[in-house]
Chain A
Amino acid sequence: MSLTGFSNPVLDQQAAFRSVMQALAEPGRIVPAGALAGGASPLGPVARAIALSLLDFEVQFHLSPGLIAAEEDITFQTGSRRAARPDEAEFAFVDLTRDALDLASFAQGTPEYPDRSTTVILKVESLAGGPAHSLAGPGIPGTRELAIPGLPADFVAQWAANAARFPLGVDLIFATREAVIGLPRSTRILTEAR
Chain B
Amino acid sequence: MSRTAENYRGYNFAYLDEQTKRMIRRAILKAIAIPGYQVPFASREMPMPYGWGTGGVQVTAAILGPSDVLKVIDQGADDTTNAVSIRQFFEKTAGVETTTETGKATVIQTRHRIPEAKLQAHQVLVYQVPIPEPLRFLEPRETETRTLHALAEYGLMHVRLYEDIARHGHIAKTYAYPVLVADRYVMDPSPIPKFDNPKMHESAALQLFGAGREKRIYAIPPHTRVVSLDFEDHPFEATKFDQPCALCGATDSYLDEVITDDRGGRMFVCSDTHHCETRRAEGHVGPLGMPVTEAAE
Question: With the chains together, A58 CA to B13 CA distance in Å?
Answer: 22
Q: What is the minimal beta-carbon distance from B143 to any residue of chain A, in angstroms?
A: 8
Beta-carbon contact of B39 and A54 below 8 Å: no
Question: With the chains together, A114 CA to B37 CA distance in Å?
Answer: 9
Q: Which residue of A lies closest to B184 (CB)?
A: A167
Residues on B with beta carbons closer than 8 Å to the beta carbon of A24: 29, 32-33, 221
The residue that B221 contacts in the complex, of A15, A17, A114, A139, with Cβ under 8 A, is: A139
Question: With the chains together, A56 CA to B223 CA distance in Å?
Answer: 32
Q: Is the interface of A mostly helix, strand, loop or mixed?
A: loop
Number of interface residues of B (CB under 8 A): 42
Residues on A with beta carbons closer than 8 Å to the beta carbon of B31: 115
Beta-carbon contact of A18 and B39 below 8 Å: no
Is the CB of A190 closer than 8 A to any CB of chain B?
no
The residue that B150 contacts in the complex, of A111, A119, A137, A139, with Cβ under 8 A, is: A111
Is the CB of B120 closer than 8 A to any CB of chain A?
no
Question: With the chains together, A9 CA to B37 CA distance in Å?
Answer: 30
Q: What is the minimal beta-carbon distance from B10 to any residue of chain A, in angstroms?
A: 14
Residues on B with beta carbons closer than 8 Å to the beta carbon of A15: 65
Is the CB of A67 closer than 8 A to any CB of chain B?
no
Is the CB of B19 closer than 8 A to any CB of chain A?
yes
Binary flags per residue of A105-118, CB closer than 8 Å to B gives 1, else 0: 00000111111010
Given known contacts A24-B33, A115-B37, A119-B29, A11 and B66 CB-to-CB distance under 8 angstroms: yes
Is the CB of A25 closer than 8 A to any CB of chain B?
yes
Question: With the chains together, A184 CA to B32 CA distance in Å?
Answer: 8
**Which of chain A's residues 105-146 have a Cβ closer than 8 Å to chain B?**
110-115, 117, 119, 137-141
Q: Could you say which interface size class chain A belongs to?
A: 35 or more
Is the CB of B182 closer than 8 A to any CB of chain A?
yes
Question: With the chains together, A137 CA to B225 CA distance in Å?
Answer: 9
Residues on B with beta carbons closer than 8 Å to the beta carbon of A14: 13, 21, 63-65
Given known contacts A11-B65, A138-B221, A21 and B32 CB-to-CB distance under 8 angstroms: yes
Binary flags per residue of A13-48, CB closer than 8 Å to B gives 1, else 0: 111011011001110000000000000000000000
Given known contacts A13-B18, A139-B221, A115 and B65 CB-to-CB distance under 8 angstroms: no
Beta-carbon contact of A115 and B27 below 8 Å: yes
Given known contacts A112-B150, A114-B34, A138 and B65 CB-to-CB distance under 8 angstroms: no
Q: What is the minimal beta-carbon distance from A55 to any residue of chain B, in angstroms?
A: 8
Beta-carbon contact of A115 and B39 below 8 Å: yes
Question: With the chains together, A167 CA to B12 CA distance in Å?
Answer: 35
Given known contacts A13-B21, A21-B32, A112-B150, A167 and B37 CB-to-CB distance under 8 angstroms: yes
Given known contacts A14-B65, A139-B223, A139-B224, A56 and B19 CB-to-CB distance under 8 angstroms: yes
Q: What is the minimal beta-carbon distance from B12 to any residue of chain A, in angstroms?
A: 7
**Interfacial residues, chain A to chain B (CB-CB below 8 A):** 9-11, 13-15, 17-18, 20-21, 24-26, 53-56, 58-59, 90, 110-115, 117, 119, 137-141, 166-167, 171, 184-186
11 contacts between A and B (CB under 8 A): A9-B18, A14-B63, A24-B29, A53-B25, A90-B26, A115-B27, A115-B39, A166-B184, A167-B185, A186-B33, A186-B35
